[in-house]
């Protein structure tokens, strides 16, 4: 089929966005992978589908596929591209919409200054629901289940890293590092992504604390590798830092591709993600 798409990004995390209301989309994982392929296809970290809602009270349904072809629960940077896309395409006249995802309902809002704020819902912190297998792990150094030891097999050696396990609908393992630019993201990111204690795999975050309202963050994403920014990863990192008493809301997040802002007032409360969304080009592809 000849597929119409829009190429977009949120702080450098890039997307192929597809109107699946006016186009019949029923692709195989191989076709999603082709769309995401930076040589044989369009190229993107994720592919985002705009669909009619199935839940009453929602304006749209939002489906997300990683570059590896797998469908996932949530994408924070993508939710900002989503609301900009539906406004630009005239699919909605509202500045604030409710969007159904596999992880629940989120609410992106177009701000007057062109930025977008998204109510990402409340984080999930119970290990079994991340999901993270912590059954045989002993008590936490700081209590409140904020840190877990993860043993990585590096060649013949074994290295232990301490991670916080947080779900924003999708799973995240966040660790604090002294310097993100020196962090072994490419080496340990894949080991964490595929660690057996994360049965659905996991996004691996590397967070440097600049001050109590400012971090630098790199994320080796499940199904995509390191991206220039990760919205849910930024939410998870700030939640982990606040729970560990290292950060205070709101927090500026410096990603390699741009700047995001995260606000969270504590357990049971929604996490709010604010940042940019950019339309790069429109295209068509035979797929």
Ligand X SMILES: N[C@H](CCC[C@H](N)C(=O)O)C(=O)O
Residue list, annotated binding site for substrate:
13, 46, 66, 76-77, 170, 203, 221-222, 231-232
160 or 168: whose CB is closer to ligand X?
A: 168
Shortest separation between residue 163's beta carbon and ligand X, angstroms? 15
Shortest separation between residue 42's beta carbon and ligand X, angstroms? 16
96 by Cβ neighbours in 10 Å (0-12 / 13-18 / 19+) ranks as middle
Residues that bind ligand X (CB under 6 A): 13, 45-46, 66, 72, 75-78, 170, 203, 221-224, 227, 230-232
102 or 212: whose CB is closer to ligand X?
A: 102
Q: Which residues are annotated as a binding site?
A: 13, 46, 66, 76-77, 170, 203, 221-222, 231-232
Locate 286 and state its tokens.
Answer: 């035979």
| 75 a catalytic residue | yes
- The CB density around residue 4, as the number of other CB atoms within 10 Å, is 13
Residue of 75, 110, 120, 271 marked catalytic: 75
Shortest separation between residue 173's beta carbon and ligand X, angstroms? 11
Locate 257 and state its tokens.
Answer: 């591709």
- The DSSP bridge pattern shows strands 271-275 and 157-167 to be unpaired
Looking at the DSSP assignment, which residues form a beta bridge with residue 209?
215
Shortest separation between residue 75's beta carbon and ligand X, angstroms? 4
- What ranges in 15-124 are assigned the alpha helix state H? 29-36, 76-88
CA distance 51 to 23: 10
| 230 a catalytic residue | yes
46 or 188: whose CB is closer to ligand X?
A: 46
245 or 253: whose CB is closer to ligand X?
A: 253
Locate 116 and state its tokens.
Answer: 């977008």
CA distance 58 to 169: 18
Q: Is the peptide bond before 250 cis (omega within 30 degrees of 0)?
A: yes
Residue of 48, 118, 120, 230 marked catalytic: 230
User: Residues with catalytic annotation?
Assistant: 75, 230
């Amino acid at each position: 089929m000849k597929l119409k798409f829009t190429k977009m990004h949120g702080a450098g995390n890039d997307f192929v966005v597809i109107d699946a209301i006016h186009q019949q989309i029923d692709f195989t994982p191989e076709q999603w992978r082709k769309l995401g392929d930076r040589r044989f296809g369009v190229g993107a970290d994720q592919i985002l589908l705009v669909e009619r809602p199935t839940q009453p009270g929602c304006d749209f349904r939002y489906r997300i596929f990683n570059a590896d072809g797998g469908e996932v629960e949530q994408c924070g940077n993508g939710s900002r591209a989503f609301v900009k896309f539906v406004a630009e395409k005239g699919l909605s006249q509202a500045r604030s919409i409710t969007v159904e995802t596999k992880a629940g309902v989120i609410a992106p809002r177009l701000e007057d200054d062109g930025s977008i704020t998204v109510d990402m819902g409340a984080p999930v912190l119970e290990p079994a629901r991340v999901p993270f297998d912590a059954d045989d792990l002993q008590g936490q150094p700081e209590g409140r289940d904020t840190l877990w030891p993860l043993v990585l097999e590096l060649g013949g050696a074994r290295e232990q890293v301490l991670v916080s396990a947080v779900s924003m609908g999708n799973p995240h393992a966040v660790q604090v590092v002294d310097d993100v630019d020196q962090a072994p993201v490419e080496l340990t990111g894949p080991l964490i992504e595929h660690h057996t204690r994360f049965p659905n795999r996991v996004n691996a975050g590397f967070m440097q604390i600049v001050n109590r309202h400012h971090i630098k963050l790199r994320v080796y994403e499940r199904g995509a590798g390191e991206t220039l920014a990760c919205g849910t990863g930024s939410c998870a990192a700030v939640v982990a830092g606040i729970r560990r008493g290292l950060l205070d809301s709101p927090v500026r997040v410096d990603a390699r591709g741009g700047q995001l802002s995260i606000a969270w007032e504590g357990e049971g409360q929604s996490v709010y993600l604010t940042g940019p969304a950019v339309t790069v080009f429109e295209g068509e592809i035979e797929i």
